[in-house]
Amino acid sequence: MHPMIAYLRRELRKAADPKKARPMRAYMKNVQPFYGIPMPARRNIFHSAQKKFTIATYDEYETVIKELWRGKFREELYLAVDIAMYYKTFRSDRAMRLYEWMLKSADNWDTVDTVASHLVGDLVLQNRKHESILKKWTRSKNKWLRRTALLAHLRHKKKTNRHLLEETILSMMDEREFFIQKAIGWILRQYAYTNSKRVTQFVKKHSGRLSRLAKREALKHQNKRIRS
C-alpha cells in the first residue's frame, strides 16, 4: 500500500465526528458511511499528506486513487477525487480509462460531477478525439456515464462543441431519469452564460419534449420565460 493511503486513513479516523456523520450520510441517501469530516478539514488532511508523501508516477497516481475509491467511508472517495484533481501532470489521455472506471462504479452524483466536469471535461478540451468517448457514453446503460456525456461540456464556455452538446441533449431528452433531466437543465443554464440566445431558441424549439425540470433549470437565470 502506498504510504499516503495509510496516512490519510489514519488522519480521517482521528478527525471523525459521528454527530456530523449522521446528517451527511442521510443527505446522501445512506449510500455509504461517513466519518463526518467537512470539505475544508478533509482538504487540509490531504494537503498535509501531500507535503509528506510523493506521487511520482502515473502508476502511483492510479493506484492511490483506486485504493481510496474502494474505501469504506465516503470521505475516502472524496479524497480520491481531490488527488485526481491535484496531480495535473497525470491528467493525460492515459487517465481517461481511470476516470471511466470511477464513473462506472459511482453510486451518486457527489462522486460523479467533479470527475465529469473537470477531469473528463478538461481531457476533452485537451484532445477532441475524446468526444468519441462522450458519444459512446450517451448510449450507455450506466446513467452516470450518460450524465457525464452532458456535464463534460460544463466548463467549456466559448469552446463548447455546440453541435455535439445539442446532439447529446436530444438523445436523452425523453428520459425520465431525474439525474439526466437535472443535468440537461444544468448544462443548458451554464451554456446560456456564453450563448443565451442559442439556449433560449433551443428550449423554445424543443419545449414540447423537454421536461419541466430541464426547462426550469435551463432558464433559471434568464429574464425571458418560455411557456410550453
The domain spans of the chain are: 1-90
Q: Which helix (H) or strand (E) holds 189?
A: helix 178-192
Whether 120 has a pLDDT exceeding 90, the answer reads yes
CATH number of 1-90: 1.25.10.90
CA dist., res. 219 & res. 213, Å (int): 10
Instruction: Note the Cα 30 to chain centre separation in Å.
Output: 19
- pLDDT confidence of 226, banded at 50, 70, 90? very low
Distance between the two ends of the chain, CA-based, in angstroms? 56
pLDDT value of residue 112: 98
Residues 75-104: tens digit of each pLDDT: 999 999 999 999 999 999 999 999 999 999
CA dist., res. 150 & res. 41, Å (int): 31
Instruction: Note the Cα 165 to chain centre separation in Å.
Output: 17
- pLDDT confidence of 31, banded at 50, 70, 90? confident
